[in-house]
Amino acid sequence: MANLLSYDASQLLVFLLVLIRVGGVLMTAPIFGSSNIPAQIKIVVILVFSLILNPFLPSPTVLPEQIHHFLMLVFSELLIGVTLGLIGKILFAAVEFAGAMTGFQMGLSIANVFDPASMQQVSLLSKLETMIASLVFLSLDGPALVIQAMVRSYQLIPVGQATMGNDLASMMIQLSSGIFSIGFQLGAPLIIALLITNLILGLLSRSVPQIQIFVVGFPLTLMMGFIFLLLGMPFMVQAIRIMFGLYDDQMLDAIQMLSLP
């Protein structure tokens, strides 16, 4: 077992690189990277995981002799950690985008709340769906999948041997674009239902001009939105479960792309 109290350049180098990769994962991954968790607790968790993993990892065969070589190793380890963490963040961003769209259609965009996690104003419905997604993520052992992917990354990518190819860049672009496609798929049923409701209100206002449509329209749209949201909640949870079911495979694909020469 590595003794970190003794000055050994290879041991200290491996521990520092492990600390950077583990920190990159846990600072950006869902749940672990939440701003609701104090920074002191995050530092302790990162340090504990690094101390656990460090004794089982081999030292690099070639130690960097110049500072820029060492900085390249640091960057590569940080790249692996941030990549694994951002995959989950992108999935949560898709859920938040779906909530923002449906909240806008329901007229809840005027009633935003302050989200301490993102330090900005977010839709009420977006906050609700994000909380539901967090519960689904925990029910699927999402944090365990993150830790498993982090440990697996050392099996496929030893310390200091990461590469960034065009396949990884295209994968991250595809996942980022998935924020909009997945968000539209999650919010499409409610958006279509509210669109039909607004269409009916428009036809009603043309056929019966005496009705004050602006007085009736907003509460009716809001009520129908909550009814459709309640009825569609089981289907939305199932869709989120399917989305997170692919999370482990997406992290494995990212690790394999980073391990390619």
What are φ and ψ of residue 114, in 5° steps?
-85, 125
pLDDT, tens digit, 9 for 90 and up, residues 132-144? 888 888 888 888 8
Measure the CA angle with vertex 129, ends 253 and 43; round to 5°: 60
CA atoms of 30 and 23, how far apart (whole Å): 13
Q: Report CA torsion sign: 230, 232, 233, 234.
A: positive
* CB within 8 Å of 153: residues ≥ 6 apart: 21, 80, 84, 255, 258
Name residue 120's beta-bridge partners. 115
Q: What is the average pLDDT value for the chain, to the nearest integer?
A: 78
Residue 200 is encoded by which pair of tokens?
Answer: 């009916």
pLDDT, tens digit, 9 for 90 and up, residues 151-170? 888 888 877 666 665 566 77
Tell me the Ramachandran region of residue 87: left when phi exceeds 0, alpha when psi lies from -120 to 50, beta otherwise. alpha
Average pLDDT over residues 187-208: 81
Residue 78 is encoded by which pair of tokens?
Answer: 């940080």
Q: How many CB atoms lie within 10 A of CB 261?
A: 5
Question: Helix, strand, or coil here: 32?
Answer: coil
Q: Give the model's confidence band at 1: pLDDT under 50 very low, under 70 low, under 90 confident, else very high.
A: very low
pLDDT, tens digit, 9 for 90 and up, residues 61-114? 556 666 777 788 788 888 888 888 888 888 888 888 888 888 777 777 666 655
First-to-last CA distance in the chain? 30
CA atoms of 45 and 22, how far apart (whole Å): 9
Asked if 24 and 82 count as a contact pair (C-beta separation under 8 A), the reply is: yes
CA atoms of 211 and 205, how far apart (whole Å): 7
pLDDT surpasses 60 at 5 = no
- 0.85 exceeded by pTM: no
* CB within 8 Å of 107: residues ≥ 6 apart: 218, 221, 222, 225
CA atoms of 179 and 156, how far apart (whole Å): 28
